[in-house]
Amino acid sequence: MQKMSTIVIKAHEYLEHDPGAGHPESPRRLEAIYERIGEPDISELFTALSPREAAVEELRWNHAGAYIERIERTAGVPHFQLDPDTATSAGSWKAAILAVGGVFTAMDKINSAEADNGFALVRPPGHHAEHDHAMGFCLFNNVALGAHYARRVLDMKRILIVDWDLHHGNGTQHSFYDNNEVLYFSTHQYPYYPGSGAANQTGEGEGTGFTVNVPLSAGAGDKEYAAIFNRILTPVARKFNPEFILVSAGFDIYHNDPLGGMKVTEKGFAWLSRVLLDLAAQCCNGKILFCLEGGYNLTGLKEGTAAVIKECAGSSILSKKDISTLSEADTLTPTASQALDIQKRYWDVK
pLDDT given for residue 2 in this prediction: 58
Residue 331 covered by a domain: yes
Residue 228 covered by a domain: yes
CATH of the domain at 327: 3.40.800.20
Region label for 189, one of left (φ > 0), alpha (ψ between -120 and 50) or beta (otherwise): beta
167 is catalytic: no
Of 128, 148, 167, 255, which is the active-site residue?
128
Tens digit of each residue's pLDDT (9 = 90 or more) over 248-297: 999 999 999 999 999 999 999 999 999 999 999 999 999 999 999 999 99
Tens digit of each residue's pLDDT (9 = 90 or more) over 43-66: 999 999 999 999 999 999 999 999
Counting residues of the chain whose pLDDT is more than 70, the rounded percentage is: 99
Tens digit of each residue's pLDDT (9 = 90 or more) over 136-190: 999 999 999 999 999 999 999 999 999 999 999 999 999 999 999 999 999 999 9
pLDDT given for residue 194 in this prediction: 98
Query: Which pTM does this prediction carry?
Result: 0.98
Tens digit of each residue's pLDDT (9 = 90 or more) over 145-160: 999 999 999 999 999 9
pLDDT given for residue 4 in this prediction: 77
Q: Is the pLDDT of residue 308 over 60?
A: yes
Dmax over CA atoms of the chain, in Å, equals 53
Residue 350 covered by a domain: no
pLDDT given for residue 232 in this prediction: 98
Number of domains, the chain:
1
Task: Convert the chain into a string of H (helix), E (strand) and C (coil).
Answer: CCCEEEEEECCHHHHHCCCCCCCCCCHHHHHHHHHHHCCHHHHCCCEEECCCCCCHHHHCCCCCHHHHHHHHCCCCCCCEEEECCEEECCCHHHHHHHHHHHHHHHHHHHHCCCEEEEEECCCCCCCCCCCCCCECCECCCHHHHHHHHHHHCCCCCCEEEEECCCCCCHHHHHHCCCCCCEEEEEEEECCCCCCCCCCCCCCCHHHCCCEEEEEECCCCEHHHHHHHHHHHHHHHHHHHCCCEEEEEECCCCECCCCCCCCEECHHHHHHHHHHHHHHHHHHCCCCEEEEECCCCCHHHHHHHHHHHHHHHCCCCCCCHHHHHHHHCCCCCCHHHHHHHHHHCCCCCCC
pLDDT given for residue 137 in this prediction: 98
Residue 349 covered by a domain: no
What is the pLDDT confidence band of residue 3, given thresholds at 50, 70 and 90? low
Residue 348 covered by a domain: no
pLDDT given for residue 118 in this prediction: 98
Tens digit of each residue's pLDDT (9 = 90 or more) over 181-231: 999 999 999 999 999 999 999 999 999 999 999 999 999 999 999 999 999
Tens digit of each residue's pLDDT (9 = 90 or more) over 65-90: 999 999 999 999 999 999 999 999 99
pLDDT given for residue 339 in this prediction: 98
pLDDT given for residue 81 in this prediction: 98
Domain span holding position 238: 4-343
Residue 97 covered by a domain: yes
